[in-house]
């Protein structure tokens, strides 16, 4: 989740997204007892959302995930209003049973994105017109547009006054174990308000408790300290080429990586519109709430990064840690506290959400990375493999202690589990 990678990837991302602006045809499940629609507009508008939020809106990765969740929530409510396979999220919207699902999806996504990203209005209008041009004119189109607009308006209403962009300031003075801006940019705490945003699914950002960082004087802290010092150094003599490649692979913009992987999964596995809308809603809304909880923990428990801790180890009171004033991580450290990991929290929510929907040994994600040296696309069949690679990657990059990524991954899994126990339930 590094801003430098985010900025460098924008041009490559634009080209990648264009390849997704296609219509995909999938077969309707034989067992369905109501009309099922093609999910092509869902994947189409997910790609449009990524382009709008990341490329045009230039929002950093944590904020990107929040707005992806808003879009997914509106699309989900619009789809299940017409195809009532699952319980609605915001409210039960009234929709004619012959309403066009494609028109509803386009109207819902367009309504949310145009509200929050008015500078993208010309491109979004063109996208919207292109989507509606594929729908036959008539009553079905009009009814679909109506339910999609209602779904978008509902989400916008629900998110009014939710704490976004509130004037929250980080004022904790530097001390041993306490985060402070890190080199080379020495940038201030990014998005401190995110931890105070009203969640979409949880009752509060602190609903799921975290144990916090290990005490500086503990053996557990020394163990994690020495691991990242050895394996996360820019000049590491123990990190293998394969470990370096894994670390670099997962140093891309993870919300973008996962959206592309989810779109691909819809196409390959033949999900219908209701199933696809549910998958995007479960993953994106769980990940957004996990990030809100993560940012609140970062604000309340602002732990120092390895790039600070290792040069200043002579101040931590632990005889098992040794300072190295010249130590630097493999990549630049992002500008926010270390505990817990935002990246690992998104992965945990995604892995658990997919494993609950499809089985823990059948998450079936093909993930690509635009980072130089990242290597080829990776295929993950199990949640465990995905979690393991991404947890290790944050340590091998030199930007996290292991406890921060393990705890964050568990947090994401807990949020996704809560989401599917309380929302998105089948109606039959």
135 and 264 share a domain? no
353 and 230 share a domain? yes
Helices (H), 216-338: 219-231, 241-249, 254-269, 273-300, 306-309
pLDDT, one tens digit per residue, over 191-237 is 999 999 999 999 999 999 999 999 999 999 999 999 999 999 999 99
Within-domain flag for 342 = yes
Whether the pLDDT of residue 3 is over 70: the answer is: no
Whether the pLDDT of residue 23 is over 80: the answer is: no
Judge whether 262 and 280 are in contact, CB under 8 Å.
yes
146 and 69 share a domain? yes
Q: What is the pLDDT of residue 9?
A: 44
Q: What is the CATH number of the domain that holds 375?
A: 1.10.606.20
Q: Is 8 exposed, middle or buried (0-12, 13-18, 19+ CB in 10 A)?
A: middle
Distances (CA, A) of 103 to 75, 256, 355: 11, 25, 30
Q: In whole angstroms, give the CA distance from residue 192 to residue 239.
A: 33
pLDDT, one tens digit per residue, over 300-312 is 999 999 999 999 9
pLDDT, one tens digit per residue, over 145-200 is 999 999 999 999 999 999 999 999 999 999 999 999 999 999 999 999 999 999 99
The answer, yes or no, to whether the previous bond of 424 is cis (omega within 30 of 0) is no
142 and 258 share a domain? no
Q: What is the pLDDT of residue 6?
A: 43
125 and 248 share a domain? no
Within-domain flag for 227 = yes
Within-domain flag for 180 = no
What confidence tier does 96 reach under pLDDT thresholds 50, 70, 90?
Answer: confident
Within-domain flag for 428 = no
Residue 98 is part of which domain span?
3-158
235 and 352 share a domain? yes
pTM of the full structure = 0.92
Q: How many domains does the chain have?
A: 2
Within-domain flag for 310 = yes
135 and 268 share a domain? no
* Stretch 56-67: mean pLDDT: 98
Q: What is the pLDDT of residue 141?
A: 97
247 and 320 share a domain? yes
Q: How far is CA 331 from the centre of its chain?
A: 21
Query: Which domain-ending residue is among 107, 137, 158?
Result: 158
Query: Which domain-ending residue is among 142, 158, 174?
Result: 158
pLDDT, one tens digit per residue, over 345-401 is 999 999 999 999 999 999 999 999 999 989 999 999 999 999 999 999 999 999 999
Tokens for 420? 């599917």
Q: Is 10 exposed, middle or buried (0-12, 13-18, 19+ CB in 10 A)?
A: middle
* Stretch 122-149: mean pLDDT: 97
Within-domain flag for 123 = yes
Q: Which residue has the higher pLDDT, 214 or 4?
A: 214
Whether the pLDDT of residue 313 is over 80: the answer is: yes
How confident is the prediction for the chain on average, in pLDDT?
92
* Stretch 36-60: mean pLDDT: 95
358 and 259 share a domain? yes
Judge whether 334 and 3 are in contact, CB under 8 Å.
yes
Distances (CA, A) of 8 to 4, 12, 14, 54, 370: 6, 8, 11, 12, 9
| Phi, psi (degrees; rounded to nearest 5) at 289 | -65, -35
Query: Which domain-ending residue is among 115, 142, 158?
Result: 158
Q: What is the pLDDT of residue 35?
A: 53
Q: Give percent of the chain with pLDDT exceeding 90.
A: 89
231 and 123 share a domain? no
* Stretch 240-251: mean pLDDT: 98
Q: What is the pLDDT of residue 2?
A: 38
Tokens for 330? 């493999």
Q: Which residue has the higher pLDDT, 33 or 325?
A: 325
153 and 226 share a domain? no
Within-domain flag for 324 = yes
Choose among 264, 396, 399: nearest CA to 342.
399
19 and 132 share a domain? yes
pLDDT, one tens digit per residue, over 115-126 is 999 999 999 999
Whether the pLDDT of residue 1 is over 90: the answer is: no
Q: What is the CATH number of the domain that holds 41?
A: 1.20.144
Q: What is the pLDDT of residue 13?
A: 44
Within-domain flag for 217 = yes
Distances (CA, A) of 180 to 2, 306, 335: 17, 11, 9
Q: How far is CA 332 from the centre of its chain?
A: 21
Q: What residues pair up with 379 in beta bridges, in sequence order?
A: 366
254 SS3 class: helix
Whether the pLDDT of residue 32 is over 90: the answer is: no
Q: In whole angstroms, give the CA distance from residue 98 to residue 103.
A: 12
């Amino acid at each position: 989740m590094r801003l430098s990678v985010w900025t460098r990837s924008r041009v490559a991302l634009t080209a990648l997204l264009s390849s997704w602006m296609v219509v995909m045809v999938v077969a309707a499940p034989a067992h369905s007892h109501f009309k099922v629609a093609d999910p092509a507009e869902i994947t189409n508008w997910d790609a449009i959302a990524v382009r709008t939020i990341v490329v045009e809106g230039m929002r950093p990765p944590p904020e990107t995930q929040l707005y992806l969740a808003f879009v997914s929530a509106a699309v989900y409510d619009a789809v299940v209003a017409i195809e009532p396979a699952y319980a609605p999220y915001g409210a039960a919207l009234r929709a004619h049973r012959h309403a066009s699902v494609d028109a509803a999806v386009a109207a819902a996504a367009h309504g949310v994105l145009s509200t929050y990203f008015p500078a993208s209005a010309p491109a979004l209008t063109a996208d919207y017109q292109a989507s509606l041009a594929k729908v036959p004119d008539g009553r079905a189109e009009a009814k679909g547009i109506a339910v999609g607009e209602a779904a978008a308006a509902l989400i916008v209403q629900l998110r009014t006054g939710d704490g976004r962009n509130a004037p929250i300031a980080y004022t904790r003075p530097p001390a041993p174990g306490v985060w402070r801006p890190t080199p080379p940019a020495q940038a201030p705490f990014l998005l401190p308000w995110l931890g105070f945003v009203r969640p979409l699914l949880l009752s509060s950002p602190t609903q799921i408790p975290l144990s916090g960082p290990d005490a500086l004087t503990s053996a557990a802290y020394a163990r994690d300290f020495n691991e990242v010092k050895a394996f996360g150094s820019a000049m590491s003599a123990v990190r293998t080429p394969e470990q370096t490649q894994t670390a670099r692979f997962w140093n891309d913009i993870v919300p973008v990586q996962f959206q592309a992987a989810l779109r691909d999964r819809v196409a390959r596995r033949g999900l219908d519109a209701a199933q696809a809308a549910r998958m995007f809603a479960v993953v994106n809304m769980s990940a957004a709430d996990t990030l809100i909880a993560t940012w609140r923990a970062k604000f309340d428990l602002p732990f120092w990064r390895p790039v600070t801790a290792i040069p200043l180890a002579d101040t931590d009171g632990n005889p098992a840690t040794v300072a190295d004033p010249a130590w630097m991580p493999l990549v630049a450290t992002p500008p926010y506290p270390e505990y817990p990991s935002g990246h690992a929290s998104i992965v945990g929510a995604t892995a658990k959400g997919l494993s609950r929907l499809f089985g823990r040994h059948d998450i079936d994600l093909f993930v690509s990375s635009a980072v130089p040296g990242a290597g080829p696309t990776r295929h993950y069949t199990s949640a465990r493999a995905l979690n393991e690679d991404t947890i290790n990657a944050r340590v091998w990059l030199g930007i996290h202690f292991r406890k921060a990524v393990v705890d964050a991954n568990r947090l994401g899994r807990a949020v996704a589990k809560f989401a599917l126990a309380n929302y998105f339930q089948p109606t039959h």
